[in-house]
Amino acid sequence: MKKIILALLLLSSVIFKAQSFKEKIADKKFDNLEYASASEMYEELSLSKHPKIKYYVRAGECNLNSGDYNKAQLFYDKAYTNTGMTDHDLYQYYQVLKYNSNYSKANEVFSKINDNQYKLIRDNLSKKRLAIEELKKDSSNYTLKTLDINSEENDFCPYVVNNEMYFLSSRRNTSVAGRKYGWDDSYFLDVYKGYIEGETVKNAEAVKEGLKTKVHEGPLCFTKDGNTQFVTRNNYVNKKIKKSKENKVNLKIFMRKKEGEKWSDWTEFPFNSDEYSVGHPAVSGDGKTLYFVSDMPGTLGLTDIWSSTLENGTWTKPVNLGPSVNSEGREMFPSLFEDEVLFFSSDGKVGLGGLDVFYTVPAGDGFFESQNLGYPLNSNFDDFGFFAKTTTTGYVSSNRGKAKDDIYSFVSKRPIISSAINLIVKDKESKEILANADVALIDETGKPVYQGKSNENGEIKFTVLPGKDYKVKTTKQGYKESVGVIKEDEIAKLANSKKEVLVEKKIIGLLGLIADADDLSPIEKVTITITDAFNPKNVLKFTTDKEGDFRHIYKDKKIGDDLSYIIKMEKEGYITKTQATDITIKKEGYILLHDYLNTKMYKIKLGADLGKMIDLKPIYFDLGKSVIRPDAAVELAKIVDLLKQNPSMTIELGSHSDCRGSAASNLALSDRRAKSSAAYIISKGVDKTRIYGKGYGESVLINDCKCEGKVVSTCPEEVHAQNRRTEFKIVKIKN
């Protein structure tokens, strides 16, 4: 029995030592980024009798990096059933689930990560819960086609110069024969060039002039004049590979200039390092701003996008583009369109999975929050190496078709970007161009994303992101602050046209709006005569415009001044009105006349009751009498003025009574009162043919207060009073 036990112990020890030895080799390959071979070893180790959770997560990560996402998920699924996954492991699992379009499970896994980790990604996720649906809602916008130049190996990162397309490929051609690298067991990358003919790219060939080494080459870019070139390369200098203290071969950017027909020797970008990577260059047309990818100290995530500018022949210290661009994930493959729009790929922002293509534009001292280009340009796989030829066409790399990368052309139905909007600032009244006005563009958060001054022509140009509304706040000395809105659907149109921004002077003025009393529509060509009650020689005259309004700016008034006016409004076909008003100026701006008097006008039409059109109080008589009382004379004077101002009208003055008293006596009394009132109006200079009085007694009651014969009315006095009325109806209109 002891021998058997000893034999089992020895066997166990041998198995453990073999397992330990294999684990060390796998770990070394993993640390050297040799994921293809490391994956096989971790997979074998995961089948052992007592596998460590490390074997599952590393097998998963190796397959993730090699592009086998389904296999990667199998191992992460097994690891997820155990305890001991680190935040890094959970984040990698989260990425795998997005590759496989398992978004709900991905969100569940991400929620397990410590709250102190991946804060930028967490914030983006919390803001955009419905991101997947939103990104796929306009799936018909893009048309994608694979290019004929694609091979069975990796082909990606197109870069177009005139009709030539530079791209990277791992097809076996110019690298050392049979030489592969361990990441995914493919050949080293070389730079190729094809020729664009219509929608196709043909005759791909390796570019050898200074771009052939035994390590990776690319991506690359040129200045607009084609005389300066930047390229990414493994840390390979003087035909020697250099490694970091951690034994890693990092990336570096190399530069060269064209001297006549020949290229100079390559020189290093001054911020290269053996200890971190610097690569993926994107240069402005004038060669003075370089964007690149690095994991140098200060990086927010795995890799960030940085920039450096060329000043007096020296590159400035790199600046991280910040959280509007970067995250805790990978931001890679920047490219520029018209020196204003920055495209890049990220797996750390809300997207469809893997690397998605995003873009942003400058905003003040930084950049707008990056925008996802949406489906199907982006997919749940890696989409990167984006190059825009125009606002609707270009190229993108993706591994959506198979494990290897391919290059696709795309066409968009509408501009994917709106690089600029043009505004012109003007005086609201005079339409005079205003230079040196302060203009701020404000996004939906209320944050000014761009600030500047209008030029000598009153113009200012903004670079903006589409897909949202913006506020434009404009200020200038002597003018009120103006806040306007640029709607989402306006943005694309304003790239080739100018939107007027109208600002109003700090003034004291008078604004009147004349409207039809029946339908409140504005009335054009109304003549407005304003007489100063303090000094009748001061008269202002206006005519309303098609909006029914008129404006006047005072040159000699200030806050606290009193105004007293007699205002006459007249237009053919309408009843002329004259009203008096008193106004105290309380603040700058326009005094709204309709706040002080009735600026509605009535059409002249048969049957209209003038008493309802003017401020006319009831006309009363002493009991049983028809003599005009002083208070009635005041109201009748209004009718006199109205008839004199409107000579085309003939009116009937109708007097009515309530039901109390006999019908005969009420009729006689009301008739005397009507004729007495009409005679009074005639006595004031109105042609007797234009008005006559008629009594109706109690024959036209306007309510149910009847009391003739045996009928007994229970109506209160105020209801009887409604029947004791005088009406002034238009009965004739002279043409």
Q: What one-character-per-residue DSSP string does 450-468 give?
A: EEEE--TTSEEEE---SSS
Tokens of 241: 């590979």
Both 391 and 430 in a single domain?
no
Across the chain, mean pLDDT equals 86
Residue 659 contacts residue 671 (beta carbons within 8 Å): no
For residue 90, what pLDDT band results from cuts at 50, 70 and 90?
very high
Question: What is the torsional sign of CA 239, 245, 248, 251?
Answer: negative
Predicted local confidence at residue 4, as pLDDT: 28
626 part of a folded domain: yes
Both 587 and 644 in a single domain?
no
High-pLDDT (> 90) share of the chain, %: 42
Predicted local confidence at residue 14, as pLDDT: 37
For residue 138, pLDDT over 90 is answered with no
The H or E element containing residue 191 is: strand 190-197
307 or 69, greater pLDDT: 307
Q: What is the number of other CB atoms lying within 10 angstroms of the CB of residue 83?
A: 7
For 709, residues 6+ apart whose C-beta sits below 8 A from its C-beta are none
Compute φ and ψ for 305, nearest 5 degrees: -100, 130
Beta bridge partners of 367: 362
For residue 539, pLDDT over 60 is answered with yes
Predicted local confidence at residue 444, as pLDDT: 77
Measured distance between the N- and C-terminal CA atoms of the chain, rounded to whole angstroms: 134
Residue-number span of the structural domain to which 473 is assigned: 421-503
Both 282 and 396 in a single domain?
yes
Q: Which of 383, 412, 441 is the last residue of a domain?
A: 412
For residue 467, what pLDDT band results from cuts at 50, 70 and 90?
low
Residue 145 contacts residue 408 (beta carbons within 8 Å): yes
User: How many angstroms separate the CA atoms of 179 and 234, rounded?
Assistant: 15
Predicted local confidence at residue 131, as pLDDT: 65
Amino acid (one-letter) located at 190: D
Distance of CA 275 to the CA centre of its chain: 41
For residue 324, pLDDT over 80 is answered with yes
Residue 182 contacts residue 33 (beta carbons within 8 Å): yes
Q: What is the mean pLDDT of residues 281-304?
A: 94
Instruction: Locate the DSSP E strands across 312-363.
Output: 314-315, 319-320, 331-337, 341-346, 356-360, 362-363
CATH (domain of 58): 1.25.40.10
Preceding omega of 219 cis (within 30 degrees of 0): yes
54 part of a folded domain: yes
Both 517 and 496 in a single domain?
no
CATH (domain of 296): 2.120.10.30
For residue 546, what pLDDT band results from cuts at 50, 70 and 90?
very high
Amino acid (one-letter) located at 224: K
Beta bridge partners of 567: 530, 579
Contacts 24+ apart (CB under 8 A), 647-650: 647/690, 647/734, 648/604, 648/733, 648/734, 648/735, 649/604, 649/690, 649/730, 649/732, 649/733, 649/734, 650/689, 650/690, 650/691, 650/730, 650/731, 650/732, 650/733, 650/734
For residue 175, what pLDDT band results from cuts at 50, 70 and 90?
very low
For residue 704, pLDDT over 60 is answered with yes
Predicted local confidence at residue 145, as pLDDT: 94
Tokens of 178: 């049979």
Predicted local confidence at residue 128, as pLDDT: 64
495 part of a folded domain: yes
Q: What is the number of other CB atoms lying within 10 angstroms of the CB of residue 74?
A: 17
Q: What is the mean pLDDT of residues 100-109?
A: 88
Amino acid (one-letter) located at 730: I
Predicted local confidence at residue 184, as pLDDT: 47
Q: Which ranges in 47-164 belong to alpha helices (H)?
A: 53-66, 69-80, 87-99, 103-111, 119-127, 131-136
Residue 599 contacts residue 593 (beta carbons within 8 Å): yes
Q: What is the mean pLDDT of residues 685-707?
A: 91
Tokens of 278: 């610097």
138 part of a folded domain: no
CATH (domain of 432): 2.60.40.10
Q: Which of 385, 412, 439 is the last residue of a domain?
A: 412
Q: Which of 94, 117, 140 is the last residue of a domain?
A: 117
For residue 181, pLDDT over 70 is answered with no
According to DSSP, residue 603 is labeled: B
Both 195 and 314 in a single domain?
yes
User: How many angstroms separate the CA atoms of 269 and 273, rounded?
Assistant: 9
486-532 tens-digit pLDDT: 887 777 677 677 889 999 888 899 999 999 998 999 999 999 999 99
**Strands 186-187, 180-181: parallel, antiparallel or unpaired by DSSP?**
antiparallel
594-616 tens-digit pLDDT: 999 999 999 988 988 888 788 77
Predicted local confidence at residue 545, as pLDDT: 94
Predicted local confidence at residue 601, as pLDDT: 92
Q: Tell which residue, 693, 718, 688, 689, has the closest CA to residue 703.
A: 718
137 part of a folded domain: no
Q: Tell which residue, 441, 433, 434, 429, has the closest CA to residue 476.
A: 434
Both 296 and 277 in a single domain?
yes
Both 651 and 697 in a single domain?
yes
For residue 222, pLDDT over 50 is answered with yes
Q: Tell which residue, 352, 328, 346, 420, has the closest CA to residue 384.
A: 346
Both 392 and 482 in a single domain?
no
Q: Tell which residue, 177, 154, 143, has the closest CA to residue 404.
A: 154
For residue 1, pLDDT over 60 is answered with no
Residue 518 contacts residue 524 (beta carbons within 8 Å): no
Residue 624 contacts residue 711 (beta carbons within 8 Å): no
The H or E element containing residue 718 is: helix 717-721
Question: What is the torsional sign of CA 186, 189, 193, 199?
Answer: positive
Q: Which ranges in 512-662 belong to alpha helices (H)?
A: 630-645
Q: Any idea of the CA torsion for 253, 257, 262, 268, to the nearest 10 degrees?
A: -30
Residue 325 contacts residue 297 (beta carbons within 8 Å): no
10 part of a folded domain: no
User: How many angstroms separate the CA atoms of 290 and 272, rounded?
Assistant: 13
Both 155 and 265 in a single domain?
yes
For residue 685, what pLDDT band results from cuts at 50, 70 and 90?
very high
Residue 288 contacts residue 314 (beta carbons within 8 Å): no
Q: What is the mean pLDDT of residues 474-496?
A: 83
Tokens 């019908």: give the residue.
663
Both 332 and 480 in a single domain?
no
- Residue length of the chain: 735
Domain tally, the chain: 5
Laid out side by side, the sheet with 508-513 consists of 549-553, 508-513, 589-592
For residue 67, pLDDT over 90 is answered with no
CATH (domain of 521): 2.60.40.1120
Predicted local confidence at residue 141, as pLDDT: 83
Predicted local confidence at residue 556, as pLDDT: 87
According to DSSP, residue 617 is labeled: P
For residue 424, pLDDT over 70 is answered with yes
Residue 722 contacts residue 657 (beta carbons within 8 Å): no
Predicted local confidence at residue 8, as pLDDT: 32
325-381 tens-digit pLDDT: 999 999 999 999 988 889 999 998 888 888 999 998 887 678 888 888 888 999 988
Both 215 and 342 in a single domain?
yes
**What letters, b where the CB count within 10 A reaches 16 and e where it falls short, cover 298-318?**
ebbbebbbbbbebeeeeeeeb
209 part of a folded domain: yes
Both 597 and 518 in a single domain?
yes
For residue 241, pLDDT over 80 is answered with no
Beta bridge partners of 69: none
Tokens of 336: 């520029």
For residue 186, what pLDDT band results from cuts at 50, 70 and 90?
low
Q: What is the mean pLDDT of residues 171-184?
A: 50
For residue 123, pLDDT over 90 is answered with no
For residue 2, pLDDT over 50 is answered with no
513 part of a folded domain: yes
